[in-house]
Amino acid sequence: AIEQLLGYSNKQVTFYTSVCIFNQNSHKEYIFTDETLIKFSNISYNLAEEYLTKDLPYNCCGSFKIEGRGLLLIDRIDTKDPSAVIGLPMIYILSILKELGHIIS
């Protein structure tokens, strides 16, 4: 995990999150992929070690999570949907559920 974080140091990394919603009534598929660009700051060995010890992101993609102390490792995030990098692109999902009449606006 330390090597992975050190590999991100001063680099821009792209994270992809995809979702597919299937409407059983119409047999229509709604497919979406969010692309999140993260520009990492300079990550020293000590910073990576401290982050891993305190946040324990070993079950996360890339040994990194944006929640909590993970923000200390980044300079910039570019995304259409901030919830996507956490796990699901909720802005897209909610828009489809509204379209299908499952959410009252």
> What is the DSSP track for 6-67?
HHHTT-EEEEEEEEEEEETTTTEEEEEEEEEEEEE----HHHHHHHHHHH--TTSGGG--SS
Q: How far is CA 30 from CA 25, 79, 80, in A?
A: 13, 20, 17
pTM value is 0.82
**Separation of alpha carbons 66 and 40, rounded Å:** 11
Domains of the chain (ranges plus CATH)?
Answer: 2-99 (3.90.950.10)
What is the pLDDT at residue 105?
62
**Separation of alpha carbons 100 and 94, rounded Å:** 10
| Phi, psi angles (nearest 5°) of residue 12 | -100, 130
Tens digits of residue pLDDT in 10-45: 999 999 999 999 999 999 999 999 999 999 999 999
Tens digits of residue pLDDT in 57-86: 988 888 888 888 999 999 999 999 999 988
What is the pLDDT at residue 62?
83
